A = this chain, B = another copy of it.
């Protein structure tokens, strides 16, 4: 029960109502630890505002009473950016956006929809499908991940290959700034260059510059004819070469993910199923979508690339079975321990080199660890999972991130920087650029109210 003389508690209760200020440790617990179990901290309160005005009031209350605001969506983040800091000196307030889950009517002329920050990706997908359109974004955590978090991280997923990351879908935003002011730009115009693109700055800012409260989402045409294929390949080089062929011959290509033998083995054991494909070092999972059935087009492209043993799935159930092999990696890994999860991106030309060097790089600092590698072949986004290293041993993270930077890549592709990687931002961003970021942060949030410790070193 909040101390009735605590002015922060009083301010928050006035902002969102007594029933939505959670102080009881048991009620708070689900908001204080991320789903991997790696990041955790203690929140003074968890608040659950109902709308933008309540978000603004809650932010003002925190600012007035020296508390840090930790915005949280579906708590599916991977970098500790949505849970309290373990070392927070100030009181921390988790601001859960899940009640802002309204979805507006789809505008058929612009193919856009207004969505609350707390709406899940799955809810948006269903809503779009009912209007004959598609969200254009998809990933495994679709049932929990919310649009506010997706925008704050600039999430990507498998279909970014065709449709871009979340950024490409943001036709407008509403957000609460650090002083509680509301900015809103949701006219939905494709061209609107009046002044700095504040929404573009907020996308990917991980809740450090503003709290996203609503998004105007740009949908894409629904392409109902889908086919997937799982392709076993002898090497990463062959996988990259295959992608080159498919890019030029297969306009219907929507996703091209990959995983390796070790990951598939772990998953098969976890799910207690048999391998649906011939054994190989590398597997590429393709998905095509078009207005008319793209199966023949896919078969032709695979033949042109010299592929003979692909498993093709042209109905929904078998497509979903193939995708569970890829998406199930995260769960199979979590069941095996608390992993270090590193989301990096590398140029296609150096992907094979990077993947080959990861195991030795990790072994140099954590000899008994094992690495599970999978990701998005089409955009060079690799999810490096390290099992068997001490959860607190940052040498593993640093070694992998340095390797990504060494091959001309990035330390964060689609998960964000969070608290997990802030200290290594300098591996891929120059001093001048980091100084510019810090100047922008100070300008918009001089008291560091919003998500302190996240993103910037």
State the A residues within 8 Å of B (CB): 108-110, 153-154, 156, 160-161, 164-165, 167-168, 177, 181-185, 187-198, 200-201, 203-205, 209, 221, 244, 247, 251, 291, 345-349, 376, 378-381, 408-417, 421, 425, 428-437, 439-444, 455-456
Contact = CB atoms under 8 A, between A and B. Distances in A.
Q: Which of A247, A436, A437 has the most CB of B within 10 A?
A: A436
Nearest to A188: B347
Contact of A156 (B164, B165, B191, B378): B191
Nearest to A176: B432
A197 B203 contact: yes
Given A194-B410, A197-B154, A198-B433, A347 B187 contact: yes
A194 B251 contact: no
B409 A187 contact: yes
B437 A198 contact: yes
A108 B245 CA distance: 11
Nearest to A181: B432
A430 B160 contact: no
A233 to B, nearest CB: 17
Contacts of A153: 193
Nearest to A431: B181
A205 B194 CA distance: 9
B200 A413 contact: no
A194 B428 contact: yes
14 contacts: A109-B244, A154-B197, A156-B193, A165-B191, A168-B168, A187-B408, A189-B347, A189-B380, A191-B379, A194-B417, A196-B441, A197-B200, A197-B201, A440-B444
B412 A193 contact: yes
A414 to B, nearest CB: 5
A411 B198 contact: no
Given A181-B431, A190-B381, 20 more contacts: A154-B193, A154-B197, A165-B191, A182-B432, A183-B433, A185-B429, A187-B347, A189-B409, A189-B413, A190-B379, A191-B376, A191-B381, A192-B412, A194-B417, A195-B425, A196-B204, A197-B201, A201-B440, A439-B443, A440-B440
Given A251-B221, A439-B444, A443-B442, A197 B204 contact: yes
B251 A200 contact: no
Contacts of A378: 190
A398 B401 CA distance: 53
Nearest to A379: B190
A376 to B, nearest CB: 8
Contacts of A456: 195
B200 A200 contact: yes
A108 B243 CA distance: 12
A432 B192 contact: no
Contacts of A431: 181
A346 B185 CA distance: 14
A414 B191 contact: yes
A413 B192 contact: yes
Contacts of A251: 221, 291
Contact of A195 (B164, B183, B193, B437): B437
Complex A-B, nearest 3 residue pairs according to Cβ-Cβ distance, in ascending order: A181-B432, A443-B443, A191-B413
